[in-house]
Chain A
Amino acid sequence: MFSFKSKSRAADKSDKIGRILVFVYLAMFFCFLVLPLFALMSKSMQNAEGVFVGLENFALYLKEPTLFKSFFHSLFVAFVSTIIVVCLGFLYAFALQCTCIPFKGLFRVVSLIPLLSPSILAAIALVYWFGNQGIFKEMLLGHSIYGPIGIIMASVYWTFPHALMILSTSLSLSDARLYEASDALKASKLRTFFTVTIPGAKYGIISTTFVVFILVFTDFGVPKVIGGNYNVLATDIYREVVGMQNFQMGAVISIVLLIPALLAFALDQFSRKRQASQLTSRAVVYVPKPHRLRDNLLLCYCLLITALVFLMLGMAQFGALVKFWPYNLSLTLKHYNFEVAGLGWDSFFNSVRMSLYAAFFGTIIIFIGSYLIEKMRADKSLRDILQMIALMPMAIPGIVLGLAYIFFFNMKDNPLNFIYATMAILVINTVVHFYTVSHLSAITAIKKLDNEFESVSLSLKVPIYKMFFRVTLPVCLPTVFDIFIYLFCNAMTTVSGVIFLYSYDTTLASVSSIHLDEQGDVAGAAAMAMLIVYISFLVRGIHTIISTFLLKRTQAWRNI
């Protein structure tokens, strides 16, 4: 299969451990990513009795106009949301990076708040604002919020921080010399904006477009809560699988969902590669100069966005506290009993536990995996395969991964069948789903380490695993902390990955929120969603305190 060069050297103990670990990682990736996807694909080509029928299910899918229409619905909402988010995000990033407005730090924090809430929170808040009993229902001029309008508005809210992060980075890299050259050539401010700023951020804009498109195209929570009768691919999968027990059609739609996502992912990777080469000759950092009109206008804009973020959060919280919207607005905590779902607070604590496990084990697994890929000496071809597989999860929609897990782990003759319907499968699914971003930041941190550390260590007779704990890990600690909190927040808020995988004992907060909404208890859903926001805030706060303390001790060498 793979060619191993026969090496006459007796391998070091460190080499042996490294090689064993590489195989362990390959095995893990196969069991928890490749084989489940394979199971999904083979399911899509079987009939209900499990007999292979080729592409018959796909033909059936194309003949079903209601199903096929969802594909265009998904495309439409993703397309419109992407355009809106890229424009809004660019303007916001521009205000933060290229102007002299005050309160930049505050605006940055505010813009990242949606990351701490589940995507459904925005949908719930919108129901309170514009729903059948919403305050501003009339503003929609007779259109219903349940449908594309609601999906797009909620999607814009929750994908905004993702867009902002990429756009800010690309604008922060703008080269001051180009602005000086443009000034020297007597170009107007507007002309400079279109000839220097926009082209400089070109790749950032392209990348944002792909990322936001994938997020909205594959999202499940928002269309589930506010989509009404407007079906999209992700909700179709859910309905086929949970509502109609038609697993084959669920698998077919999953593949229909997977292909555009893979395509967008591939295009994004391609454009990122070209960007990397552009950044090498980067030199002088651009420092903006005050410009009254521009700064004042953008300050108003940022305040507006901030207000919208708080209006969303505030409405969700308010809705969770009032007795009976909109007739009895006196406050109560009764919606926090979560009686409708019949589980009380269990699902909330399950979510916290699941997120802590995912963050803890995920961080360890991802960091060691990145280290192996980046610094091991032997088995180059195997490490390349590992690297390739580690990038895959980014392209795979959560709901597709979740469905793939059911097909694979629910098979009777699968020796891994025992993890089905346990906490473990939720943790594994979550780690795999959010693997790529963490993996890439770990790789970036590890790449900065001198390539000869391992050689020096071996020459001093210190095994590499000892050096890993003495040098590699302490030096990369800030990144390790970032990965932990990234995994935690995503595990708390994720819906699509785990919607098929929880059992009665392992319900999760985000899933409960959806079920509460499904059963008409919107206030309960809002209460649960807000709990997720608060716990994310809390854990992030604790994380900041601990990491500041620990980093002060371990990173003293940096600040000298």
Chain B
Amino acid sequence: MENTVSYLSIENLSKSFGKFLALDDVCIDINAGEFVCFLGPSGCGKTTLLRCIAGLEVQSSGTIIQNSEIISDLPTSQRDFGIVFQSYALFPNLSCFHNIAYGLENLGWEKQDITKRVDELLSLVGLSDHSAKYPSQLSGGEQQRIALARAIATSPNLLLLDEPLSALDAKVRVHLRQELKNFHRRLGLTTVMVTHDQEEALSIADRIFVMDSGKIMQSGTPEDIYANSSNPFVANFIGMTNFIEGQVLDEDSIKVDNQQIAINSHSHKKGTKVIIAARPEYVQLAEKNSSNTFVGRVVDVEFLGSFLRIHLETSIMPDQPLIADKPMIDNFSKSVAIGDNLNFTLSPNHLNVYECDN
């Protein structure tokens, strides 16, 4: 990865709307052919960042370089990208064919070339039969695919997707997300997608940029940011996490409520207040007296199909219940009841430690 020249670089990009800082010194490198996601809660600046790349918003400061060319001062119409919006923004009075042909007609293509290209794109998105239909005659998923075909019709080298799946039903969304991934594999087009849905980002992206308050909080592969979240925000936003407050005793143990949690080595100074993050699936129910074992009382049990979510009241997490997920195998649920006292273990290999903010 280090050897490839990045296709799209964003350097120290900031954008403010009045006093509100939407983007705060953002630096990003995206490689050619990569599928990246900007992920974050609403208002985190991810859409603003995408719109800056498209030239639909003007950055307050910073530079955007695409394919070794500074594009941050170019108007939208001179940049090289295709875009799909959350609303799709298909032209209602034009048929699917003419929606897709819209950009090509303006380039002065011959009629038969346009027809050939549009047919090609329609079959690529699997909607060859719908050429003459109007957008209002299509389902949401079909509209989305037409919007995609329109976006790549003029063969841009960069595809921008602004929450393209958010307006769809849950099932269609999962299906289309798989299609988007296949689509990307076939074309190898550098793609940037904005989403607030962490599951979507995890399943589809080569690399994720997690954003909050206009800043990039962490970037990396989905596996990496899930397993090694670099700060509590990411740990909490991606998947589910238990946060346990404590104080550093020495380099491999942390004091929590007069008990000790053993962890792998970390770099925090002795006495620092820290937060330990533990994923629910790594909270093991265990026999008494093994190391790192604590006691909790079951306050709630949720049956979630493939697994059981157990809420435990425990002294190491006084403010809210600690959550443990157990796979639903061997009729496990029968052995857990509200009011039971259970022992659980926190495996040192799967704990992340963050310095407390305050």
Q: Give A15-34 as 1s and 0s: 1 = Cβ < 8 Å from B's Cβ atoms.
A: 10000000000000000000
Whether B226 is near chain A, meaning CB under 8 Å from some CB there, is no
Q: How far is the CB of B325 from chain A (nearest CB, A)?
A: 40
Question: Do the beta carbons of A15 and B75 come within 8 Å of each other?
Answer: yes
Cross-chain contact A461 with B106 (CB below 8 angstroms) = yes
Contacting pair A462 B106 (CB below 8 A): yes
Given A452-B89, A460-B103, A475-B92, A557–B73 Cβ distance below 8 Å?
no
CB-based nearest A residue for B79: A459
Instruction: Evaluate whether A453 and B151 lie within 8 angstroms (CB atoms) in the complex, with A463-B77, A557-B136 already known.
Output: no
**B22 part of interface (Cβ distance < 8 Å):** no
**A7 contacts the other chain (CB 8 A):** yes
Q: How far is the CA of A555 from the CA of B94 in the complex (A)?
A: 10
Residues of B99-139 at the interface with A, using a CB-CB cut-off of 8 Å, are 102-103, 106-107, 134-137
Task: Say yes or no: B75 contacts A9, CB within 8 Å.
Answer: yes
Chain B residues 118-171 with CB under 8 Å of chain A are 134-137, 150-151, 153-154
List the A side residues contacting B107 at CB < 8 Å: 461
A376 to chain B, nearest CB (A): 14
Q: How many residues of A contact B (CB 8 A)?
A: 32
Contact with A along B54-80 (1 / 0, CB 8 A): 111011000000000000111111010
**Contacts of A438-463 to chain B: CB distance below 8 A:** 450, 452-453, 455-463
In this assembly, does A12 line the interface, its C-beta being within 8 Å of a C-beta of chain B? yes
Do A456 and B89 touch (CB < 8 A)?
Answer: yes
A557 x B77 contact (CB < 8 A): no
- Among A11, A455, A466, A555, contact of B89 (Cβ-Cβ < 8 Å): A455
- Are B77 and A458 closer than 8 Å at their CB atoms? yes
Contact of B134 among A9, A456, A560 (CB under 8 A): A560
Min CB distance, B159 to chain A, in Å?
Answer: 11
Contact in complex: B93, A471 (CB < 8 Å): yes
Q: Nearest residue in B to A13 (C-beta to C-beta)? A: B77
The contact of A458 among B73, B76, B91, B154, by CB within 8 Å, is B76
Q: From residue B180, how far is it (CB to closest CB) to chain A in Å?
A: 18
Cβ of B82 within 8 Å of any chain A Cβ, yes or no, is yes
A13: which B residues are within 8 A, CB to CB? 77
Quick check: A461 and B85 within 8 Å, CB to CB?
no
Minimum CB–CB distance from A146 to chain B (whole Å) comes to: 55
Check if B75 sits within 8 Å of A453, measured CB to CB. Answer: no
- Is the beta-carbon distance between A461 and B93 smaller than 8 angstroms? no
Contacts of A9 in B (CB 8 A): 55, 58, 72-75
Contact across chains for A12 and B75 when beta carbons are under 8 A apart: yes
B354 to chain A, nearest CB (A): 38
From A10, A455, A558, B56 is in contact (CB under 8 Å) with A455
- Identify which of residues 459-485 in chain A touch chain B, using a CB-to-CB cut-off of 8 Å: 459-463, 466, 470-471, 474-475
> Max chain B CB contacts within 10 Å: which of A7, A459, A460?
A459
Q: Are A460 and B74 CB-contacts (below 8 A) given A452-B89, A471-B94?
A: no
User: Given the complex of chains A and B, what is the CA–CA distance between A158 and B154 in angstroms?
Assistant: 57
Tell whether, in the assembled complex, residue B55 and residue A554 are in contact, meaning their CB atoms are under 8 Å apart.
no
The CA-CA distance from A555 to B135 in the complex, in Å, is 13
Contact status B89-A450, CB under 8 Å: yes
A10 & B75 in contact (Cβ 8 Å cutoff): yes
Closest to B105 in A: A462
Q: In the complex, are the beta carbons of B85 and A10 less than 8 A apart? A: no
Q: Does A280 contact B (CB under 8 A)?
A: no
Given contacts A9-B73, A10-B74, A461-B154, contact A554 B93 (CB under 8 A): yes
Question: With an 8 A cutoff between CB atoms, is A8 at the interface?
Answer: yes
The reply on B204 being an interface residue by CB < 8 A is no
Q: Chain B residues with Cβ under 8 A from A8's Cβ?
A: 58-59, 72-73
Pair A557/B134 contact, Cβ less than 8 Å: yes
- A470 cross-chain contacts in B, Cβ below 8 A: 91, 94, 102
Within 8 A of B (CB), among A211-251: none
In the assembled complex, B315 has its CB within 8 A of some CB on chain A: no
B341 within 8 A of A: no
Task: Decide if B83 is an interface residue (CB 8 Å cutoff).
Answer: yes
Q: Which residues of B contact A14 (CB under 8 A)?
A: 77
A459/B76 in contact, CB under 8 A: yes
Residues in chain A near residue B83, CB distance under 8 A: 455-456, 459
Closest B residue, CB atoms, query A460:
B103
A474 touches B106 (CB 8 A): no
Query: With A and B bound together, what is the CA distance between A7 and B73 in angstroms?
Result: 9
Complexed CA–CA distance, A455 and B51 (Å): 10
Looking at the complex, which one of B59, B79, B91, B150 makes contact with A471 (CB distance below 8 Å)? B91
Using CB atoms, name the residue of chain A closest to B107.
A461
A9 to B56 CA separation, bound complex (whole angstroms): 10
**A460 engages B102 (CB within 8 Å):** yes
A-side contacts of B87, CB under 8 Å: 450, 452
Closest A residue to B54 by CB, please name it: A459
Distance of A506 Cα from B335 Cα, bound (Å): 98
- Whether B76 lies near A10 (C-beta < 8 A) is no
Q: Which residues of A contact B85 (CB under 8 A)?
A: 450, 452, 455-456
Q: Does B209 reach chain A (CB closer than 8 Å)?
A: no
Chain B residues contacting A11 (CB-CB under 8 Å) are 75
A409 to B95, CA, bound (A): 50
Residues of B within 8 A of A12 (CB): 75-77
Closest Cβ–Cβ distance, residue A225 to chain B (whole Å): 47
- Contact present for B75 and A460 (CB under 8 Å): no
Q: Does B81 contact A (CB under 8 A)?
A: yes
Can you name the residue of chain A whose Cβ is closest to the Cβ of B91? A471
Cα distance A8–B79 in the bound complex, in angstroms: 15
| A residues near B58, Cβ cutoff 8 Å | 7-9
A560, B72: Cα distance in complex, Å: 43
**From residue B80, how far is it (CB to closest CB) to chain A in Å?**
10
Report if A462-B89 is in contact (Cβ < 8 Å); known contacts: A9-B58, A9-B73, A12-B75: no
Q: How distant is the Cα of A11 from the Cα of B58 in the complex, in angstroms?
A: 11
For residue A455, give the distance in angstroms from its CB to the closest CB of chain B.
5
A460 to B150 CA separation, bound complex (whole angstroms): 9
Interface bits A88-122 vs B (CB < 8 Å: 1, else 0): 00000000000000000000000000000000000
Is B136's CB under 8 angstroms from A459's CB?
no
Q: How far is the CB of A120 from chain B (nearest CB, A)?
A: 43
Q: How far is the CB of A48 from chain B (nearest CB, A)?
A: 53
**Smallest beta-carbon distance B45→chain A, Å:** 18
CB distance from B11 to the nearest CB of A (A): 14
The complex places the Cα of A471 from the Cα of B105 at a distance, in Å, of 14
- For B56, B76, B94, B103, the residue with the greatest tally of chain A CB atoms inside 10 Å of its CB is B76
A453 to B74, CA, bound (A): 20
Among A41-83, those with CB < 8 Å from B are none
Task: Let me know if B89 and A560 touch, CB within 8 A.
Answer: no
Q: Give, as a whole number of angstroms, the nearest-CB distance from B342 to chain A.
A: 48
Cα separation A335 to B136 with both chains bound (whole Å):
57
In the complex, how many angstroms separate the beta carbon of A18 from the nearest chain B beta carbon?
A: 12
Q: Which residues of B contact A474 (CB under 8 A)?
A: 93
Cβ contacts under 8 Å, B92 to chain A: 475, 557
- Residue in chain B with minimal CB distance to A462: B106
Instruction: Note all chain B residues with C-beta closer than 8 A to A463.
Output: 77
Q: Choose among A452, A455, A461, A555 the residue that contacts B103 (Cβ–Cβ < 8 A).
A: A461
Name 27 A/B residue pairs within 8 A (Cβ), A-sorted: A8-B59, A9-B72, A9-B73, A10-B74, A12-B75, A15-B75, A452-B87, A453-B89, A453-B91, A455-B56, A455-B89, A456-B85, A457-B102, A458-B55, A458-B56, A459-B54, A459-B76, A459-B79, A459-B82, A459-B151, A460-B103, A461-B107, A462-B103, A471-B91, A557-B135, A557-B136, A560-B134
Q: A460-B103, A475-B93 are in contact. List 20 more A-B contacts (CB 8 A).
A: A8-B58, A10-B74, A10-B75, A11-B75, A13-B77, A450-B85, A450-B89, A452-B89, A453-B91, A455-B56, A456-B150, A459-B77, A459-B83, A460-B106, A461-B106, A461-B154, A471-B91, A471-B93, A475-B91, A560-B136
B residues bordering A, Cβ < 8 Å? 54-56, 58-59, 72-77, 79, 81-83, 85, 87, 89, 91-94, 102-103, 106-107, 134-137, 150-151, 153-154
Closest 10 A-B residue pairs measured CB to CB?
Answer: A460-B103, A452-B89, A557-B134, A458-B76, A12-B75, A462-B106, A452-B85, A450-B89, A471-B91, A459-B83
**Chain A residues with a Cβ under 8 A of chain B:** 7-15, 450, 452-453, 455-463, 466, 470-471, 474-475, 554-558, 560
